[in-house]
């Protein structure tokens, strides 16, 4: 993992920006390449709620788009596996 990606993940974890369980579910599905509409259907929530979670996720992860969020998700999974 690059230093920049690690810093992004650490900022999210240290900034009081712990992800909620639903945000983690949304992030996992973004990482899988699903669209907001598909995520909403899968989780049984509205598309607007998915968008709200994405906004919060991007703010917490300090990223600007879905691709960066997916990369951060992969980094978080990698860090979790190392720490476990």
Residue in this structure with the two tokens 């190392």, named with its chain if needed: 82
pLDDT at 33 over 70: yes
Delineate the domains of the chain, giving CATH numbers in brackets: 3-83 (1.10.10.10)
Closest among 38, 48, 9 to 1, alpha carbons compared: 9
Query: Which is more confidently placed, 16 or 68?
Result: 68
Q: What is the pLDDT of residues 43-73, one digit of tens each?
A: 999 999 999 999 999 999 999 999 999 998 8
- CA-to-CA distance for 6 and 78, rounded, in angstroms? 10
Nearest to 29, CA basis, from 82, 63, 80, 73: 73
- Predicted confidence at residue 15, as pLDDT, reads 47
pTM above 0.85, yes or no: no
């Amino acid at each position: 993992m690059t230093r920049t990606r690690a810093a992004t993940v650490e900022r999210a974890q240290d900034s009081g920006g712990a992800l909620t369980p639903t945000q983690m579910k949304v992030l996992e599905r973004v990482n899988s390449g699903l669209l907001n509409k598909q995520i909403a259907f899968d989780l049984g929530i509205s598309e607007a709620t998915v968008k709200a979670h994405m906004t919060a996720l991007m703010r917490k992860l300090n990223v600007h788009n879905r691709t960066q969020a997916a990369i951060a998700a992969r980094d978080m999974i990698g860090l979790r596996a190392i720490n476990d």
